[in-house]
Amino acid sequence: MRKKESAASDLIWHDRDALYDLDPRALRLTNGEFLIERIDNVEDVKGSFGDRGLLRISNLRLIWHAVSTPRLNMSIGFNAINGISTSIAKSKIRGQTEALFITATGLLKGNLGVLVITNIRVVWYAALNPQYNVSIPFLQLKSCRIRDSRFGDALVLESSLMSGEYVLGFQIKPEERLEFTCKAVQALLNACHSSPIFGVQYSRQQDVALFQHDEPPIVPMPTTTEEKEPEEKALRVDAFAAYFSGGPVKGGEPRPIVFSEELGMAIEQLKPGFTIADLWEINVE
């Protein structure tokens, strides 16, 4: 585990690190540091091309920041400088002029990016290519701690066994922000373990509100199955059966003889409801 109390030498980074886009407070002169020279209208022809800036030279480092945007800055310690040379360069402020080139050993060996911490996960994405990113939910995070690496102290996140046991390291400057970030992630990790957020939430308040109106609730009527009665088919008239069942009765009077215009002859009067055509039809089921 890392000690909370750091040695005084660990807090002095100004002479040995080459850092960019620092907090403007980190550009202030530290204890024992004094200003040697100040140069106005200095342009960074590599990173902030066209931005007029201010260059300060102290006994420990070179400090430059853009006048219009102070967050665009750099701090180059003398121990990080490998070489100094001059060359002709094109400047938006002074046109073609002689420029000073400083070769320094920086700490940014990886990809410079943005670290985002939410209540459910830690997200990192590269500043130059946002598609290069990583998302670590707290449900899959095993531990968070500060470990010493070849590039200095780094925030190390280790995922769980089920998620692949990945070990990710993030370098955060200054040291105070690194410790604050580590404590924040550890607190959120403990809160997630004690009360995990699985992302599924359900509330019945909306259902209860439907029955709080003055109108009575609508109760669905029970559905009953009606039994259909078999349809009765209309019986067809069978003249043969009618005449067979209605044969001559003993003691009864025979039907009178009438003239049939269809046959052109005298026939026995037909029974009610029958025609001549019905006598010639045979119904077979």
**Which residues are paired to 155 by β-bridges?**
146, 170
Dig out the tokens for 144 from the structure: 């968070």
Average pLDDT, the chain: 78
Going by their DSSP bridges, the two strands 73-77 and 18-20 should be labelled as: antiparallel
Could you give the count of Cα atoms lying within 13 Å of 172 in the half-sphere of its Cβ? 19
Q: Which residue has the tokens 């029958």?
A: 274
pLDDT score at 117? 93
The candidate with the shortest Cα–Cα distance to 155, out of 143, 170, 141, 175, is 170
Q: Determine the pLDDT at residue 201.
A: 76
Q: Which H or E run contains 242? A: helix 239-245
The answer to whether the beta carbons of residues 138 and 166 sit under 8 Å apart is: no
Residue 3 has what pLDDT? 46
Percent of the chain with pLDDT over 70: 72
> Backbone phi, then psi, for 175, in 5-degree steps?
-65, -35
Cβ neighbour number for residue 175 with a 10 Å cutoff: 15
Residue among 107, 90, 75 nearest 172 (CA): 107
Q: What is the mean pLDDT of residues 175-201?
A: 89
CB count within 10 Å of CB 254 equals: 9
How many Å apart are CA 62 and CA 18, to the nearest integer? 9
What pLDDT sits at residue 208?
55
Q: What is the model's pTM?
A: 0.40
Q: Is the pLDDT assigned to residue 106 strictly greater than 70?
A: no
In which band, very low, low, confident or very high, does the pLDDT at 101 lie, cut at 50, 70 and 90? confident
Give the pLDDT mean for 229-243.
Answer: 58
* pLDDT for the residue numbered 107: 54
| pLDDT bucket at 2, cuts 50 / 70 / 90 | very low
> Do 14-104 and 113-194 share a fold?
yes
Classify 14-104 by CATH class: mainly beta
**For residue 4, what pLDDT band results from cuts at 50, 70 and 90?**
very low
Question: 155 versus 71: which is more confidently predicted?
Answer: 155
Q: What is the three-class DSSP state of 189?
A: helix
223 pLDDT exceeds 70? no
Q: Does 2.30.29.30 match the CATH number of domain 113-194?
A: yes
Residue 36 has pLDDT above 90, yes or no: yes
For the chain, the structural domain boundaries read 14-104, 113-194, 239-280
pLDDT band at 219 (very low <50, low <70, confident <90, very high): low
pLDDT for the residue numbered 56: 94
What's the average model confidence in pLDDT over 176-200? 89
In angstroms, rounded to a whole number, what is the distance separating the alpha carbons of residues 83 and 38? 21
pLDDT in tens, 77-92: 998 888 888 887 776 6
